[in-house]
Amino acid sequence: MQLLLRYLPLLLLAMFWEIAARLELVSALALPSLTAVAEAWIELVKDGDLITNGAASLYRAGMGLGLSIVIGAALGIFMAWWRPLNIVLSPLVEIFYPMPKSALIPVTVIWLGFGDGSKILLIFLGCMLPVTIGAFNGARGSDRALVWSARSMGAGRLRMLWDVVVPSAMPEMLNGIRTALALSFILLVSSELIVSQKGFGYLIGFLGASGAYEGMYAVVLTVAFLGFAADRVYQMLMNRVLAWRE
């Protein structure tokens, strides 16, 4: 019931959409009715287009994001732990961070071609810095007394890094990963829209260009829903990992 109430505005929007399309308040070309979109969605699932393209997209996003989390987190924590690394890398991070990573789409294509590699590289590059910065700030904020406590109880420097610095960095790092998760969807779809032969973005572009607007909307809504669902699931996981806070 509460859930229903919470998403009531969404339901109202859907109803408004359907009515507006049915009454032809807007051109059916620009906005096909929601039911027509739903039919097209079922069609796309049946003939497998949505599944194969979706699988390709999720593979790219998963690989890119996974790499960015592992490498980004390690980089951030080691930057906080070892000053020389910080001195060398922090100017690079500062310059690279605000740059719109979509500008790298053609570059990654030149490097790695039209296939999965260029998408994975782009998502990796775009998602890594939020994770790195989160991990770095979190690790830097480690309480001196915790570090000393662990050391005095017999933890060596590396052990202390794992037992104290990594968990201290966790809250900020997990927030960085959440940002990265949203970015991965953005970069995925935009790169696939521009240069690709499969994926959600490719399918949206292809259907739109061939005038199958119901299908195009169906894919757009699918991506929107996946992005939303991924964020919700992630938040649930994050709250479980951070259950120790309050």
- Which segment (46-54, 71-79, 154-162, 231-239) binds other proteins by CB under 8 A? 154-162
The rounded distance, in Å, linking the Cα atoms of 239 and 237 is 5
Contact call for residue 149 and other proteins (CB under 8 A): yes
Q: Which is nearer to other proteins, 120 or 164 (CB)?
A: 164
Count the neighbouring beta carbons within 10 Å of the beta carbon of residue 44: 22
Q: Which stretch binds other proteins (CB under 8 A): 5-13, 140-148, 179-187, 206-214?
A: 140-148
- Per CB under 8 A, does 154 bind other proteins? yes
Does position 148 bind other proteins by CB under 8 A? yes
Asked whether the beta carbons of 132 and 166 are under 8 A apart, the reply is no
Half-sphere exposure of 193 (CA within 13 A, CB side): 15
For residue 219, the one-letter residue type is V
* Interaction between residue 155 and other proteins (CB under 8 A): yes
Which residues, 6+ apart, have CB-to-CB distance to 45 below 8 Å? 51
Q: Are 118 and 85 in contact (CB under 8 A)?
A: no
Q: Rounded to the nearest whole angstrom, what is the least distance from the CB of residue 246 to other proteins in the complex?
A: 5
84 lines the binding site for other proteins (CB under 8 A)? no
Query: Can residue 245 be called a binding residue for other proteins (CB under 8 A)?
Result: yes
**Residues 234 and 91: beta-carbon distance below 8 Å:** no
| Complex with other proteins: residue 151 or 186, whichever CB lies closer | 151
Task: Give dist(CA 222, CA 199) in Å, integer.
Answer: 12
Closer residue to other proteins, CB minimum distance, 134 or 205:
134
Q: Which of 145, 158, 209, 211 binds other proteins (CB under 8 A)?
A: 145
Q: How far apart are CA 102 and CA 104, in angstroms?
A: 5
The Cα-based distances of 46 to 34, 41, 203, 232, 238 in angstroms read: 18, 9, 15, 27, 35
Considering beta carbons, is residue 97 or 148 the nearer one to other proteins? 148
By the rule CB under 8 A, 139 interacts with other proteins: no
> Residue 115 or residue 167: which is nearer to other proteins going by CB?
167
35 binds other proteins (CB under 8 A): no
Tell me how far, at minimum, the Cβ of 174 lies from other proteins, in Å: 12
* Interactions with other proteins, residue window 189-218 (CB under 8 A): none
Q: Which two tokens stand for residue 126?
A: 């775009």
Name the minimum Å distance from CB 97 to other proteins.
24
Closest-CA residue to 36 (of 53, 20, 49): 20
Which residues of this protein are in contact with other proteins, per CB under 8 A? 143, 145-146, 148-155, 159, 163-164, 167, 170, 243-246
